[in-house]
Every structure is written in C-alpha cells, then in structure tokens.
Structure 1
Amino acid sequence: MKILKNKNFIFLLMFVFLSAAVSFSAPVTDMILVDQLGYRTNSDKWVMVKDPRTGFDAALSYTPGASLELRSTSDDSLVMTIPLTSWNSGAEHADSGDVVWQGEFSSITAPGTYYIADPANTVQSYDFEIGDDVYNGVLEASMKSYYYQRSSFPIENPYAEGWTHAASHLQQTSSLLYDASLGGQQAGTERDISGGWYDAGDYRKYTAWMGPVIWDLAYAYEFFPGNFSDSTNIPESG
C-alpha cells in the first residue's frame, strides 16, 4: 500500500509539472495587444492589455492577472513571466477610452513564433513573430499594392493572383481642361493623363498625393536599397 501511495504521488507530481510547463491552450482575446507585424530581435518589445471603460466596447470589462506569460507557439513552453504595470497610474486613456497595463519582454531575442498568455483569465494573445525579417513580407505587400492601384492599366494573372480586371478610364489618354468659368471643356487642351494610381478607396487621382508618394518611394530606396527585392511579382519584375 505504501508503494502504491508513493507511485500515486509521483504520478501527481508529473501531471502538475507537465500541465504547468508544457501546455497552455486557451481562447484568443483582443484585450491582450501585441505587434501584429512582429518584433525585431533587438528592438524594444512591449505587450499592452486594455480594459475598455468608454466607447463602443465599454461592456467588455477585463482585468488581467498581475503578470503574463510569454510562451513558444511550437510547444507552449514557458519562455518568460512578464510583470504588468499600470499605464499612467491607472488613469483612463482619453483617446481610446481604455485603462491600460503594459509589460516588457525586450530581453527575449531568439527568433520564433510566440504568444502572450494570461493564466489568471485563461486567455491568450494572437501569435506573433520575433525575427529580423518580420517586416520583409509587409514591405513586399505594401509595394505590391501599387500594382493593384494602377489606373488605365490591366490587372492580370499571374501578377494579380486572382484579383483581375481590365484597364479602366482609358478616355484619360485624351482629356480636356474643364473650366466652369469658361463654359466647360476647352478645345485644344488635350492631355494624356492616364496612368498613375487611384486614391485609397475610389477612382480619383490627386497630383498633390502622387507627387509625395513618388518622393517617399525614391527616398526610401536611396537610403535602404538592400531592403527592396525584385520579387513583388509585377510585370516589371525580373
């Protein structure tokens, strides 16, 4: 009987150890905020926790535990315990309507996929990456967006990856100056104003916005040419 009791005790210890050190499976919460793009290995790394008090989500009350856990997504192993501190002495953030806590895990530099767990509430954040290449995909996607926004240009496969449409606004190859004070369109003022990029969510084009965009792109490439690849899969690639 004594041997059986000892075995039961050993099994209990093993169960507690494995439950605490190996696995943490919980629903994802929007109250634990991490950088969805990821963190570079040597950058500052912070997690924010919010308790909505004012605004559309004020009914979603949330109080975190005194500390959070940084865990590896691959095996749920505990990497670091992250103490939380109140932001601005617990005062509500005026713009968001939230009370905020913050925790730092900048000391973790190993590349990989992680998540932040709150054991007190049995919830966790979305997964995120740590690595020096976390912005590469975002940069390529941002550059590719200029292809989809092209005006008077067919958006075709294999470049469009299914999001195709024919060239539009082709009449802009011969546009007339419109002046209401002179009665409307002015003969002899034809200009080819096709090309360029549509504005964010409509078919308008603004020279005031396109000029700075070209400047910003050229400026970024001048200072960081190594960050730009030729793999955006557009007609000019290669």
Structure 2
Amino acid sequence: MNKADVVAFYARLAEADPHPETELEFVNPYTLVVAVALSAQATDIGVNKATRALFREVDTPEKMVALGLDALKQHIRTIGLFNTKAKNVIALSQMLIDEFGGAVPNDRAALERLPGVGRKTANVVLNVAFGAETFAVDTHIFRVGNRTGLARGKTPLAVELKLDKATPQPFRLHAHHWLILHGRYICKARTPECWRCIVADLCAFKAKTPAPKPKAAVAAVHRPSS
C-alpha cells in the first residue's frame, strides 16, 4: 500500500469513527492492566462480564492482594485460563506495590516485567492510559495488516514495526483501535465482509467476499415448481 493509499485508508476509518476506544471496561490504569492481561485468548465481552463486579470492589493493587487468589478466581472463573491468569494478576499487583509504589509505570520495559504482561498488553496500556502512539498487534491487527497490505509481516513484532513506520500523523494515536475494530467487525478471519468495507478499493486482498444473496432471492431459487 503506497503512502497516498495509507492516508486515504486511515482517513476513511477516522471519518467513520472519529474517537475510537478500547472495548474493555476499566476504571483506571491499574484495572486496565488487569483487564488487558485477562483478555489474552478471551473476548472483551467475556472479560467485561467477569470484571464488572470485580472492579467495583477492587481498583488498586493493594485491594487485589487483599482480595486474595481464591476470591479472584471466583470472579474470573468464566474466563479461559483463569487459574494461571489469577496467579499472574496477584503477582503483578504485588510487584506494583513492591517496586512502583502501587502505580502503573509509563514505561514499556517496566510493564513487560509484570507477570502476564507481554508487549501487546504493554502497548495497549501505554496507548490507552498514557496516550502513547503505540501499536498493540493482536490477531485482528495482524490479519488486517497482512491482508490489506498495510503492514505485512510474519510475526506480530514485524507487523508492529511496519505499522509504526507506515502510519502518519494525525492517525498514529488511534490507529491500533481503528485496525482492531475493523478486524473484529468487518475484516473477519473466516468471512471478511468486503461488500460493506469502506476501504475495500484500497485493500490488496484479491478474494473479495461478495455480498450475500437476499433471502427472498435464495428462497425463490429453492421454491419447488407447481
């Protein structure tokens, strides 16, 4: 995708959704870290259902440690891998207390030292909590980057670095939200909805999915003759 197409690509997404936000629910940077860590291999909807009651009760590392492992597991038991994730949340909360005075650091290296926090999670926290121009490459962004030709790469890091290089101002702050939402609702893994995609003409994906046939027309085709 050339520079002019990249600008047009982002401009259309921005016009359609000027102020995109994460779909994870949180109340402060700490609960954001917890929510993003819990969202690995899980849906935002599922995480939100599990954390609404939790975050009403617990919104600091100190409160999480006081809650304890067993009680935390009960809150998040509907989330995949909840046993491991609960242990990581308690451990990262204790580390925040011991090493950062209970505050979430505004630093990728420090964030990545937290149990259960990888580069993607760190990038989300830096972007959403601190306004950094980061690109958190999840499965949706990885797919959109490669499929459209916006940023092709064999690994999430390769796609992230290409996005960082290719994405111009004023789109850098919100770029990762636009791409995630586009991948989640339009550029889906199995059946991308190309027929209603506002950037389809800029996309390198050749096997464009046609619009589904109207139900009436399908019914007419299968209606037995009299």
Q: Under TM normalisation by the shorter chain, which class is it?
A: under 0.3
Taking CA–CA contacts closer than 8 Å with sequence separation of 6 or more, which of the two structures ends up with the larger relative contact order?
2
Q: TM-score, normalised by structure 2?
A: 0.25
Larger Cα Rg: Structure 1 or Structure 2?
1
Considering fraction of residues, name the structure with more helix.
Answer: 2
More strand by share: 1
